[in-house]
Amino acid sequence: MYAPRTDGAAEGDNPGPAATGEAAIWRPCPDVPEDLVGRTAPSMKYECASVAVPQDWANPSGSGTFEIAMMRARSDRQRDRIGSLVLNPGGPGGSGIDTAVYLSFGAALGGLPDEITERFDIVGFDPRGVARSSPVECISDTDLDATFGADPDPGTQAEFDSVAAINKRVGEGCGAKYGDRLTLFSTEQAARDMDAVRTAVGDEKLTYLGYSYGTLLGATYAQLFPSKIRALVLDGAVDPGQDMVAGSESQAKGFERAFTNFTNWCAQNGRRCPIAPDARGAVTEALEKARVSPVRGSDGREATAGWVFYAVISSLYTEQGWQELASAIAELRGGNATGVFDLADSYAERDSNGHYSNLFDANMAVNCADSTAKPSLAQIRSYQSQWRERYPLFGAALAVGMLPCAYWPGKRDPYPTGAARGAPPIVVVGTTGDPATPYEQTAKLADMLGVGVVLTWEGEGHTAYPQTECVTRAVDRYLIDLEVPQAGLRCPR
C-alpha cells in the first residue's frame, strides 16, 4: 500500500515549519515520488513544507508542538486555479503525502483526472502521529510479526490468552514511551490540524477528498469548521455514530459479503480461479492447515493462519485482488507461500527487510484515543463466539481485533458527532460491495451530517473515486463547479 517513508530533504534543506496561522514555506522535493515510485509524474512539480501545530489544541500555549508534513503536486498545465485539493487516504495511519504522489500520476495510471490536476494543487499531509508528522513509534518489528502471525480465531482459552498477551505487551510498551500523550493522537486533534493545513496552503475554504477513515476525519472537520468548507468528498463512509463494537461487527459483515462475492466470481470464472469451484472451502482448508502445518516462506517465516487471513483481507480491497488471492491459495497448496506473504505484507506495510511502517502504531493510537468503548476480555471472547456463527470467516477475527484497545493506556478523546450546521452540501460516496466500510454506513453518515448527498457505485472493492466514469464525472463537477450530484444517483458497474 505505502512504501517506507522519507521526506526527501537533504540535511539543512528544510527551512522549518510555518507557525500555526502562517503561510507554508515550500521547497522542491522530487525525491519523494522518486523514492516511492521511481520517478516524478510528467508535468508535475513536487514541493514540501510543514506547519507547527499545538500538541493539544485545548491547551495551545502549554503543550509543545507537532510538525505536520505536507506535500503539494502542481501541474505545469494548471489553468484557472481554484485552490488546493487536500487528501486523506484513511487508515487511520495512512500517509496523505504518499497518496498525493500516487494520485498525481493521472487517470491512465489510476490517479486523478487531468480536469482536477489542472485546476487544483494536490496536497497531501501526514496527520499527527503518522509517517513524517511526529510519528508514533512504539511497536517493534518482532511484536508486529507476532501480531500479524497470530491465530485470528484462537480456539482454546490458552490460545486466546496468548494472543491477548501480545496485545498487552504492545499496550504497555506504548504507554511506557508516551504515557498520557497518547490521547493527543485523536481524530478531533487531527481535524483541527487540518484547518491549520488549510491556512498554510493559503485557502480561504477547504476543498477535501477523504477516503475510508478520511471520511470520519472530514466529518469531524465539518462539525468543527462548517463555515470553512468549500467542498468535501467523503468516499468509503465510516458511520461516526457507531462505537468500536458496532464498527467491528459491521466490518465482519462487510468482509463476509465481499468474500461471498469473490467465491461467486470464482465459481463463474474457473479458468481464472485455480481454486474453483469451491473457493470458500479452499480458503477455509488453507487456514486450518496453516494452524497445524504452516508452509515456510523464502525468508524463513511460517505462513501461519494469521498471515493467510491477512492475505485474504488484503485481496478484498479491490476486485483486481480476487485473482491474486485465488493464485496465492493455489500456490500455498503446492507449498509456496510467496503469494500469501506478498498480499499480507502489502496490507501490513512490511518491507522485504522485515521492517514495518508506523501504520499499525498510528492506527492503534488514533482508534483507541477515539473510542469510548473498551470491551473487557470476557466480552471480546463472547463476541468471538457470537460473530463466528454470523460471519464464519471474519466474525471471530474482527472480535479478537478489539484486543489492542482493551490494553491501550491513556484517556479517551472522542470526536464530536451530529449535524454539520452551516456547512454546504457534502458528497458521500458509497460502494455496494465495499468490505471495509460497508455500504450501509453511507446513508448513516450523510443523514448525520444533515447536508450529506449520497452517490452510489454499484461495484466491488473499497472506495469508488476515480475508478468509474459515472462517479468520476459527478465528483469532478462537484469539486470544480460545486455542482451537487442528483439525489440518489446510482452509478452502475
CA gap 439, 426 in Å, rounded: 17
Q: Is residue 351 part of a domain?
A: yes
How many folded domains does the chain comprise? 2
Task: Decide: residue 464, CB within 10 A, 0-12 exposed, 13-18 middle, 19+ buried.
Answer: buried
Q: Are residues 319 and 269 part of one domain?
A: yes
Residues shown for the chain: 493
Q: Are residues 201 and 97 part of one domain?
A: yes
Q: Is residue 311 part of a domain?
A: yes
Q: Is residue 17 part of a domain?
A: no
Q: Report CA-CA distances (Å) from 451 to 150, 465, 483.
A: 43, 20, 14
Q: What is the mean pLDDT of the segment spanning 384-402?
A: 98
Q: Is the pLDDT of residue 114 over 50?
A: yes
Q: What's the pLDDT at 461?
A: 96
179-231: pLDDT as tens digits: 999 999 999 999 999 999 999 999 999 999 999 999 999 999 999 999 999 99
The catalytically annotated residue of 250, 370, 462, 476 is: 462
Q: Which of 162, 168, 159, 180 is nearest to 139 (CA)?
A: 168
Q: Report CA-CA distances (Å) from 333 to 287, 417, 476.
A: 11, 48, 45
Preceding omega of 154 cis (within 30 degrees of 0): no
Q: Is residue 16 part of a domain?
A: no
The catalytically annotated residue of 186, 212, 315, 346 is: 212
Q: Are residues 261 and 155 part of one domain?
A: yes
The catalytically annotated residue of 239, 370, 434, 476 is: 434
pLDDT above 90 as % of the chain:
91
| Strand blocks (E) in 98-177 | 120-125
338-386: pLDDT as tens digits: 999 999 999 999 999 999 999 999 999 999 999 988 899 999 999 999 9
Q: Are residues 146 and 129 part of one domain?
A: no
Q: Is residue 394 part of a domain?
A: yes
Q: Are residues 212 and 347 part of one domain?
A: no
Across the chain, which distance is largest between two alpha carbons, in Å?
Answer: 64
Q: Are residues 89 and 200 part of one domain?
A: yes
Q: Are residues 305 and 158 part of one domain?
A: yes
Q: Are residues 129 and 147 part of one domain?
A: no
CA gap 415, 351 in Å, rounded: 33
Q: What's the pLDDT at 6?
A: 31
Q: Is residue 426 part of a domain?
A: yes
Phi then psi for residue 231, to 5 deg, are -155, 135
Q: Are residues 472 and 401 part of one domain?
A: no
Q: Are residues 78 and 192 part of one domain?
A: yes
Cα-based torsion angle of the residue sequence 468, 473, 476, 482 in order, rounded to the nearest 10 degrees: -140
216-272: pLDDT as tens digits: 999 999 999 999 999 999 999 999 999 999 999 999 999 999 999 999 999 999 899
Q: Is residue 85 part of a domain?
A: yes
Q: What is the mean pLDDT of the segment spanning 56-85?
A: 95
Residue 213 sits in a domain whose CATH number is 3.40.50.1820
- Encode 353-364: b = buried (16+ Cβ within 10 Å), e = exposed: eeebbbbbbbbb
Expressed as residue numbers, the domain containing 311 is 139-177+246-355+370-409
Q: Is residue 6 part of a domain?
A: no
The reply to whether 355 belongs to the active site is: no
Q: Are residues 203 and 70 part of one domain?
A: yes
Q: What is the mean pLDDT of the segment spanning 98-109?
A: 91
Q: What's the pLDDT at 392?
A: 97
Q: What's the pLDDT at 8?
A: 34
The three cell numbers of residue 406 are 482493551
Q: Are residues 343 and 235 part of one domain?
A: no
DSSP string, 29-44: -THHHHHHHSSPPTTE
CA gap 78, 121 in Å, rounded: 8
The reply to whether 462 belongs to the active site is: yes
CA gap 457, 465 in Å, rounded: 9
